[in-house]
Chain A
Amino acid sequence: MRLAITLLTTILLAGCAGRLKMADRPKPPGTPYVDALVERAMHDRLDRSKQWLRLGHYRPERFGDGWLSEADHPRFFLASDGQDNPRAELEATLRGFFLPPVQELPVGKAGFARHPICRFPARLAYLAEALEIDMARLPTQACPRYGKFLGDVNPRSVTLVFSSYFLNNPASAFGHTFLRFNKAQTMAVGQKRELLDYAINFAADVDTGNSVIYAFKGLLGLFPGTTKRMPYYYKVREYSDTESRDIWEYHLDLTPKQLYMLVAHIWEIGHTHFDYFYIDENCSYRIHMMLEAANPEIELIEQLGPAVLPADTVKVLFDNPGLVREVTYRPSLRTELMHKVEALDSEQRDYVERLADRADAPLPGDWNDARKVAVLDAALDLVDTRHVKDLVFKRDPEAARKKQSLLERRADIRVPSEDRPVPVPWGRQPQIGHGSGRLGAGVGLRDADAGLLDGGFLALDFRLALHDLADPSPGYPELAQLEFLPLRLRLWKSEDDAEALLEDFSIVRIVSLTSVSRFDMSMSWHVDFGLRELEGEGCRRCLAGKLRGGTGLTGSFADEAVSLFLTADAAIDLAGESDVGIEGSFVRAGLGPAGGLRLRLDPELILLTRGSFLFYPEQPDPRVWRVDSALRWGLSQNLALSLEGAMLDNRREGQLLLLGYL
């Protein structure tokens, strides 16, 4: 798997990993003291020290034995060849600190720090300690803007924040991570005012709304990734309110010195950008590079695979004992709503629904205030979950009037709302989920009509990422499936030699089920795009390109332990060298119902059965049906046993696989 990705990324990256071209810079004049410092630094090989390399975001070169910094702006380097020469950069940095003082920009002005002392405070702190620099000999350089930055952030501690999946958008199942500095003064009063803390976010600066350009630029690292600071409330409103994403918070145990190094280093990288690669050098990767730079004792990056998934970066925090001090949870607005509704009786629920449609509908006169408040509060949250973006962008006056009317009614009742915190769903913590890749092997048996491969076979399974509906459920959304490059291969033993057959392969396969309730009528849907062994009689052992999708409804019961779904599907098969398609061509097109049942017998034991019945009108195989079933048992976090069966018109087969998640 690693090899494949390395190859892929190498091809993608070839040509764009070019180095910065910088004009030669004049070497600052030395004094005997500076010369001595440089000599000592070189003697101690500080240029090869872990922290120096980490502060410079240097990584071993892909080809060759040198170092190359991932920072992509010359402002981050003081030596003209600093990007690939940590030694020259170290010398230039030391000499730079002793340059005569300059006038820095005043507080409130946007721009970059000029003097190396103001631009590289983390480098200064590290080198001052390692070389015992006599601070009195440094020039007297004021850094007003850096001082303001430090004072604003003013951290008592730091938290790694993981925003989990986005309901009805499995693409966000990967999640996102960023940092939050917990202000000293808000923690000191013992009251949670974390909305006012500062979030540090690393993301691609996107400059296009065109999805094709977006995809290509992101894969090729053509967007600059930059570090931004904003009040945490922007992130809470974005993820919790508008995207229905629950938030997990990992409070890190850093010493005051490490905390200072982290803040100082973030200021430094505010002077550069890093080319943003979706697959590896992404938001979560860069956050970990920052944490490592601040703390040479922790190891995060080495634990990561070639593709960096935010959830995996949470897992590697736990490979460093003691690093995570505490885990907390912030439910999304939608989760809060569902929790509120649970506490209501059925009469109240009727009124919540009614009010969300007709905000002026009267409530029964014999209700007490508490009853009315519970219904109005839930109705307000319901209107928000349905219309939050319309409200933010002021594009639906009707929704705004509805909310206004409910707000007025709520404000008239001067009774506090009941405080019922959402219980923390510990079983959904991303770090307890199975690994993101999957490899498996097993044996199977097929009973098929003549012309098809028959008998025993060896089954092989591979998947780049991430999760399907039958995989053990801890740490993952219950009803979302997101798969990249899932592959099933079979090896058959015929009379004289073995034969390999591709059973099923997808580029991407997504299933998004949303349980329909009176408060959420979202549609469920699925798409699958790849290659598979063709069903039907017309073309035996044919491999066909497949594009399948469908949309429908899901009903879930017992806390999503039982889910039933039904969709209307469409399929287009491109059946290679055959003529089973429309008017003798190789293109088949079908339509029909599909559905399934998923039983979570235990978080680690899932039974999933799916069936479909497709009509291919006016084509050689007019009716194709199939039923697939899997019973999967998680033996440990990263190991599962899967018993699977399939029934089609012309074949029945079963297989037992051992699946390892990596």
Chain B
Amino acid sequence: MKKASATLLAMTLGLAMAAPVAHADGYGTAGCGLGSILFGDDPGIIQVLAATTNGTFGNQTFAITSGTSNCADSGGGSASAKAFIEANRESLSKDIARGQGETITNLSALAGCADEAAVGTTLQKNFSEIFPEASVNDTQVSESVLQTLKSNTALSCKLLS
């Protein structure tokens, strides 16, 4: 029994030491994109641990007292709409292709647009300008979405300046 528990302890340590280790530079990207809050590495022990214990990487942007940075703001207006588009890009691209959906409803509210259905149809029509190819980055996407909303004055997105 004594020997068994000693071996057990050795196994624990061995297992822990042999665990694949992620690197601290693997997560986080600049900007408001979803990448700024996710673990970037492929699944490994660290992700399992984080899932178990709900650890996150400290992000000053979201501190309660940090003042309102762009990424933490969902109060309406161009800056918050831009952050929304960048963080929701993958989901929003599908809703734009479909011409409707939750992200379009919420984006319309941020931009102060009168008619979200019209926003959906307009964005869908302009799909190829917003997403001309797979490699456009999040900032380019957010700029073209906002440009589309602003230039279609019939949408009267009054919170965009």
Contact = CB atoms under 8 A, between A and B. Distances in A.
Contacts of B105: 191-193
Interface stretch (B53-61, B143-151, B153-161): B53-61
Interface in A559-581: 574, 576-577
A388 interface: yes
A231 interface: yes
A230 B3 contact: no
Interface string B108-142: 01100000000001001101100101110100000
Given A112-B65, A377-B98, A411-B96, A237 B55 contact: no
A108 B68 contact: yes
Contacts of B25: 209
Contacts of A145: 65, 67
Contact of B53 (A107, A278, A411, A586): A278
Given A223-B55, A407-B97, A209 B48 contact: no
A632 interface: no
Contacts, number: 261
A204 B54 CA distance: 7
A229 B98 contact: no
Contacts of B43: 169
Interface stretch (A28-36, A264-272, A451-459): A264-272
A588 B91 CA distance: 51
A30 to B, nearest CB: 29
B97 A229 contact: no
Contact of B1 (A107, A234, A238, A576): A576
B34 A242 contact: yes
B17 interface: yes
A551 B3 CA distance: 30
Contacts of A384: 90, 94
A154 to B, nearest CB: 9
Given A210-B21, A226-B63, A241-B91, A400 B51 contact: no
B41 to A, nearest CB: 8
Interface string B65-97: 111110111110000000110011011011011
A233 B55 contact: no
Query: Which secondary structure dominates chain A's binding surface?
Result: mixed
Contacts of A389: 38, 40
B54 A203 contact: yes
Contact of A401 (B15, B24, B106, B134): B134
A567 B141 CA distance: 45
Contacts of B93: 403, 407
Contacts of B17: 212
A529 to B, nearest CB: 7
Interface stretch (A486-494, A541-549, A646-654): A541-549
Given A218-B55, A228-B64, A416-B98, A407 B84 contact: no
A109 interface: yes
A111 interface: yes
A530 B9 CA distance: 10
Given A191-B105, A211-B46, A205 B64 contact: no
A13 to B, nearest CB: 16
A583 B105 CA distance: 69
Contacts of B45: 211
A531 B134 contact: no
B74 A198 contact: yes
Interface in A137-179: 145, 148-149, 152, 166, 169, 171-172, 174, 176
Most buried by B among A196, A218, A278, A411: A411
A255 interface: no
Contact of A228 (B34, B53, B63, B125): B63
A282 B54 contact: yes
Contact of B51 (A171, A266, A267): A171
Contact of A408 (B22, B65, B128): B128
Contacts of A214: 46, 49-50, 55
Given A218-B49, A389-B38, A545-B11, 14 more contacts: A171-B52, A195-B106, A205-B58, A209-B26, A212-B16, A230-B62, A237-B91, A310-B54, A381-B94, A393-B35, A410-B94, A416-B99, A531-B4, A576-B4
Interface of B: 1, 3-5, 7-8, 11-12, 15-17, 19-27, 29, 33-35, 37-38, 40-41, 43-60, 62-69, 71-75, 83-84, 87-88, 90-91, 93-94, 96-100, 102-103, 105-106, 109-110, 121, 124-125, 127-128, 131, 133-135, 137
Interface of A: 105, 107-113, 145, 148-149, 152, 166, 169, 171-172, 174, 176, 186, 191-193, 195-198, 201, 203-212, 214-215, 218, 223, 226-234, 237-238, 241-243, 266-267, 269-271, 276, 278, 282-283, 310, 373, 377, 380-381, 384, 388-389, 391-394, 397, 400-401, 403-404, 406-408, 410-411, 414, 416-417, 507, 529-531, 543-545, 547, 574, 576-577, 586
6 contacts: A149-B64, A231-B83, A234-B34, A384-B90, A394-B137, A408-B128
The 3 tightest CB contacts between A and B, nearest first, are A270-B64, A205-B58, A411-B127
